Structure 1
Amino acid sequence: MTSDEQNPTIFLIPGHWLGAWAWDDVAEHLRAAGHRAIALTLPGLDPEDAQRSSRTLDDQADAIERALAEDAPTGDRSAVIVAHSGANAPVSMVLDRHPESVRRVIWVDSGPIASGSVFAPDAPADLDELPLPDFEDLGAQASLDGLGPDDLERFRRRAVPEPGPVLRQAVALTDDERRDVPTTLVCCSITSGQIQELAAAGHPMFAEVASLTHADFVDLPTGHWPMWSRPADLAQVVASAALVQ
């Protein structure tokens, strides 16, 4: 077994409104255990970027591709990608473009999306950006279980509005080999059993799960943001999944 196989680089990709900072606790646990962990802030989520509201899913996918290439220029399947929530769109695009470069993808309360998917198809064409909703509205869409006042305060303070183009862009996928990339689904706000039932029924959010060649399911009961509610446990799940052949 090569050193890359023993210790693949783990790329941590945050969901909507979040930057690399969202993974701080998980990354700390992974690094303390000897793993190489790199958290990314996707284009459009950097508060210092004056053009951030114009960034697209293509920009985000390109940024992930560059990070993979810089870590392993030969594309030798030495990378593990961990994608939370809305990161499923750009990560699905990267898997479609370079399935040979990814050793395993780990979806955290998320999953692969189908070609043609649009996150917010009803979003107005003139919507520049979508700020983080108030927590009552957000909690109706995604579970806030496990988050304390400090977590919510940090979330509100550090959240960056999601670019309008990211919300409106349809994902175009063409390479079925993306479905052959070994996959782990970490199920938090919805159980693995429920996800598999919905996938079998062809539910639009989970239909792609049924097409995966190699899929493992891990239940980690908590809310939609386990990197804050159960960081040590999530890090352990990620570390274990990253080493599975």
Structure 2
Amino acid sequence: MQYVFVPGAWHGSWAWHPVAQRVTAAGHGAVALTMPGLTAGDDPRGLRLADAVDHVVREVERRDLSDVVLVGHSWGGIPIAGAAPRLGERLRGVAMVNAFVPRPGESMADAMGPDVGAFVRASIAASADGTIGVDLAAVRESLMPGEPETLQRLVHDLLLPQPGGYMLDALGEVNLTSLSVPLSYILAERDQALAAPGTELAARIDAEPLMVPGTHEAILTHPDDVAKALRNATGG
């Protein structure tokens, strides 16, 4: 089995490394991707959601991966929802971890509600390179509430501005439940950062959430629990 990990907004492949190491130790393959524009030195201008979806598909094909389980965290649920139908027989399953499960025509900004969505759009429009960042207060209060301050600051320092097109664009079609592969949803008990209740998001793929300890960043703070839940959910 080959796990392909896609990170959430502002994150890079580094966010999945603790979980990836554990599934590798269990005898499976693991590839953690960074989306275009989210490596230091990248030019994020002009990137659209389609670029992220294409990147996931291209990396799976370039590496000639098979028996693939796509795993998305947070915003990463959107590009894997777009990529999964294009992988054909390479795809074995899809797993969402504290992830947004999009509906057709619904962008990340749309899902955040009218007030937050308006703030996201205004911030992107005002940015010189068309990105949106995240401040330390949001990490403390939303992404990692109750975690040690030193860890909150470290994670914040690792985050990079998100290309605006990733937040503003939507998938025209979302048909995960029509795929003949298992779908699963892993939800942290103290996640306060989801755009909708985790049980509602899991229901969009006809899944019952598998609960793990931690906050939205459980993939960093509780990798043993996330990796175990992931293996249990995917038969690994």
Q: Which letter maps to 1:134?
A: L
Under a length normalisation based on structure 2, what TM-score does the superposition of the two structures give?
0.81
Alignment-mate amino acid for residue 228 of structure 1:
L
Residues 99 and 177 of structure 1 are in contact (CA less than 8 Å); yes or no, is this contact kept in structure 2? no
Contact 1:146–1:222 (8 Å) recurs in 2: no
Identity %: 24
3-state SS of paired residue (1:11): strand
Residue correspondence of structure 1 range 89-100 to structure 2 within 5 A: 89-98=78-87, 100=89
**Matched residue type, 2:184:** T
Residues 216 and 183 of structure 1: CA distance in aligned 2, closer, same or farther (over 3 Å): farther
Q: 1:162-201 residue pairs with structure 2 within 5 A?
A: 162-173=162-173, 175=175, 178=178, 180-188=180-188, 189=190, 195-196=198-199, 199=200
Letter in 2 for 1:11: V
The equivalent residue for 2:12 is 19
What does residue 241 of structure 1 align with? 233
Output the CA distance in 2 between the equivalents of 1:89 and 1:18.
14
Shift of 1:150: 3.4
Secondary structure of the structure 2 residue equivalent to 1:45: coil
Q: How many residues are paired up?
A: 218
- Which residue of structure 2 lines up, in the alignment, with residue 59 of structure 1? 51
Letter of the 2:7 counterpart: P
Is structure 2 residue 12 aligned with structure 1 residue 10?
no
Q: CA deviation at 1:186?
A: 0.4
Counterparts of 1:200-219 in structure 2 under 5 Å? 206=201, 209-212=202-205, 215-219=207-211
Report the CA distance shift for 1:195/1:158 in structure 2 as closer, same or farther (over 3 A).
closer
**Local SS of the residue matching 1:26:** helix
Provide the secondary structure at the position in 2 that maps to 1:185.
Answer: strand
Note if contact 1:131-1:162 (Cα within 8 Å) is conserved in structure 2. Answer: yes
- Per mean C-alpha deviation after superposition, the further-off stretch among 99-108 and 110-119 is 99-108
* 8 Å Cα contact 1:83-1:106 kept in structure 2: yes
2:114 alignment counterpart: none
> Relative to 1, partners in 2 of residues 1:32 and 1:211: Cα closer, same or farther, differing over 3 Å?
closer
Secondary structure in 2 matching 1:53? coil
C-alpha distance in 1, partners of 2:59/2:176?
23
Q: Please point out which of 121, 131, 134 is paired with 1:132.
A: 134
CA distance, structure 2, for counterparts of residue 174 and residue 14 of structure 1: 19
8 Å contact from structure 2 (residues 81, 176) kept in 1? no
Judging changes above 3 Å, is the alpha-carbon distance between structure 1 residues 146 and 40 closer, same or farther for their aligned structure 2 residues?
A: farther
Find the aligned partners of 1:48 and 1:242 in 2 and give their Cα distance.
35
- 1:85-134 per-residue CA deviation (whole Å, 9 max, x = no partner) reads 01111111112434553211111111421010111243036241111223
Specify the alignment match of 1:151 in structure 2. 151
Q: Distance in 2 between matches of 1:231 and 1:146?
A: 17
2:53 and 2:18 map into 1 onto residues whose CA distance is: 24
Q: Corresponding residue for 2:32?
A: 39
> Which consecutive residues of structure 2, in runs of 5 or more, have no partner in the other structure?
111-117
* Paired residue type of 1:165: G
Secondary structure of 1:25 counterpart: helix
| TM-score, scaled to structure 1 | 0.78
Q: Is this contact kept in 2: 1:25–1:231, CA < 8 A?
A: yes
CA RMSD for the aligned pairs? 2.5
**Structure 1: which 5+ residue stretches go unaligned?**
1-7, 200-205
Alignment partner of 1:15: what SS? coil
| Aligned residues of 1:145 and 1:222 also touching (Cα < 8 A) | no
* 1:153-205 Cα shifts (integer Å, max 9, x gaps): 221221110011111112211656655531111011359xx644xx3xxxxxx
Deviates more, 1:91-100 or 1:179-188: 91-100
Name the SS for the 1:219 alignment partner: strand
